[in-house]
Structure 1
Amino acid sequence: MKQGQTGMTLDVAGYETVMEGEDMRAIVLTLDRGQTVPWHYHSTTADLFVCLKGPMVVETRAPRNTYALNAGERCAVPPMT
């Protein structure tokens, strides 16, 4: 388990902060098959997901959307989704 900067505990295989600045943070999360990140949202920041080894699925709630990514593909999730 890894305690994220937001206080959310993540049950993931790996968590590495690659870069952090005043207005951004880049992390690499490694998830084993079946692992998930809990539902959450960011009020002012976007998430950019890059699939390094796939497949992986990114889901949003508002609006409801599903992004199915393979290795090398990416998607952006805007704030408040």
Structure 2
Amino acid sequence: MSATGTERQSANFAVSSRKIVAEGTDVQVKEFVLQPGESVPWHHHTAVFDVFYCLEGRLTVERTDVKSGAHQPDLVLAVGDSAKVEPGTAHHPVNQQQERCRFLLVQGIGRYDFLRFAPTTR
């Protein structure tokens, strides 16, 4: 278990800021900051869902079904908005705005994995 409020980047990707808010054996809560144009790479999870909660700016989450490759409507979150991405849905959180975006990410329940995904052209 890591100390809360600490910054921790993973080997999978780096962003402006990623801080642990809470972490257990099958649930993680992190605070992210994305600068304009910054994003988390396309990926999906086998078992865990992601819940995004926008704290500042605007967050866009692009989505694609892993099995069919069918694109799903983008989730566009303003301050106070939240949305859930189910396991098996590839997603790409991105800041498409001119100001920074800050959001909470709640991940669970189960074993965490980060599987890269290459969508067809959007």
TM-score range, shorter chain: 0.7 to 0.9
1:18-54 per-residue CA deviation (whole Å, 9 max, x = no partner) reads 1001110001110001000000000100000000012
* Counterpart secondary structure, 1:9: coil
Higher relative contact order (CA closer than 8 Å, sequence separation 6+):
2
- Give 1:1-81 correspondences, 5 Å limit: 2-3=9-10, 7-10=11-14, 12-62=15-65, 63=70, 64-81=72-89
Unaligned runs of 5+ in 2: 1-7, 90-122
The alignment's C-alpha RMSD in Å is 1.5
Alignment length, in residue pairs?
Answer: 77
Greater Cα radius of gyration, structure 1 or 2 = 2
CA distance in 1, matches of 2:24, 2:9: 20
CA distance in 2, matches of 1:65, 1:45: 20
- What is the aligned-residue identity percentage? 31
CA distance in 1, matches of 2:73, 2:43: 14
- TM-score where L is the length of structure 2: 0.59
Unaligned runs of 5+ in 1: none
Ranges of 4+ aligned residues in structure 1 off by more than 2 Å: none
